[in-house]
Structure 1
Amino acid sequence: MDNSQDSVISLTAAECWSRLNDHELGRLITRVGDLIEVFPVNYVVDRENLVFRTAEGSKLLELTINDEVVFEVDDYTDTDAWSVIVRGSARRLETDDEVQHADSLGLTPWIPTLKHNYVSIVAHTVTGRAFPRREEPPRDGVQPY
């Protein structure tokens, strides 16, 4: 039996946001020149933005040089797996109103360090895919492309 047709399921935007809402840890991908970095960050969803906290350092510096980011969250069980990708722009929250609102989101660092800076990622595109986990198809014979 060929299950290749239903091996990858595209998620709707609403399904992507639901999965983002249900999780707290993702990967922030930044790029400055030829340097691409991946940072694990805990986050919260605020409307259709992602918010995380960070200390002064390379992550915050890189976001001021190039605000275009990719953010990825995924998970799996014994029966399925999924991945959601957010492409957007990141900016440090600076006004008192922005910071007060971010403080109300209940976002706390996972590691015991001071992280005074809130960063918001405004999503430009959100895409996701789900993958039912099944046995690998037979390796012999003609495979579809």
Structure 2
Amino acid sequence: MNTETTPAPDFGLSIDQCWMLLDTEVVGRIALIVDAHPEIFPVNFALERRSIVFRTAGGTKLWAAMTAKPVAFEIDGYDVHEQQAWSVVARGEAELIESQQEKDAVDALLLEPWQPGDKDYYLRLSPKALTGRRFKVNNPDLWTTRLSDPRRASFE
């Protein structure tokens, strides 16, 4: 009897694949420590020089990004045609962009805040770790899966 098992396929993404997926999205989530507990904030972002940049107002998000180290950033998605889900996580420290030249470079990427109000602070996350994974999703049970489940699209 053969007791060897075939190892599961490696669904880990390369760093280049992670950057390519990051470049396909415009909204992610930044995870910060606020008052000794984790908080997650949605942010629209752009990529600039292999870093993630976003704008914010003064307040909790800015304070936590500058004082709580490290921070994490995450995006995920689903490819209907391939029936695969994916996730990318960047970890590192956020830094305030103070140079007008660097702010102008970010503005040239058309990074415009979605939420009304002044978002005068520009932050950069240059990942010290960038990981991602992709995996095939289970086929949905069409009788019990919610109508909003994106997996249904490949069967309808």
TM-score range, shorter chain: 0.7 to 0.9
Q: TM-score, normalised by structure 1?
A: 0.84
AA aligned opposite 2:78: Y
Gaps of 5+ in 2: 141-156
Task: Identify the residue that residue 35 of structure 1 maps to in structure 2.
Answer: 37
1:1-145 alignment runs, 5 A limit:
5-6=8-9, 9-32=11-34, 34-78=36-80, 79-135=83-139
Contiguous gaps of at least 5 residues in structure 1: 137-145
Could you tell me the percent identity over the aligned residues? 35
Amino acid of the residue matched to residue 14 of structure 1?
D
CA distance in 1, matches of 2:74, 2:6: 26
Structure with bigger RCO (C-alpha 8 Å, 6+ apart): 1
Letter in 1 for 2:72: V
Post-superposition, which runs of at least 4 consecutive aligned residues in structure 1 deviate over 4 A? none
SS of 2:128's equivalent?
strand
Relative to structure 1, is the Cα distance of residues 118 and 39 closer, same or farther in structure 2, using a 3 angstrom cutoff? same
Shift of 1:135: 4.1
Q: Is the 8 A contact 1:32 1:65 kept in 2?
A: no
* Cα shift readout 1:92-126 (whole Å, capped 9, x = no counterpart): 11122222222222101112222111100011010
CA drift at 1:67: 3.9
For these two proteins, the number of residue pairs brought into alignment is 134
Greater percentage in strand: 1
Task: Give, in angstroms, the shift of residue 51 of structure 1.
Answer: 0.3
| Separation of aligned partners in 2, 1:74 and 1:66 | 24
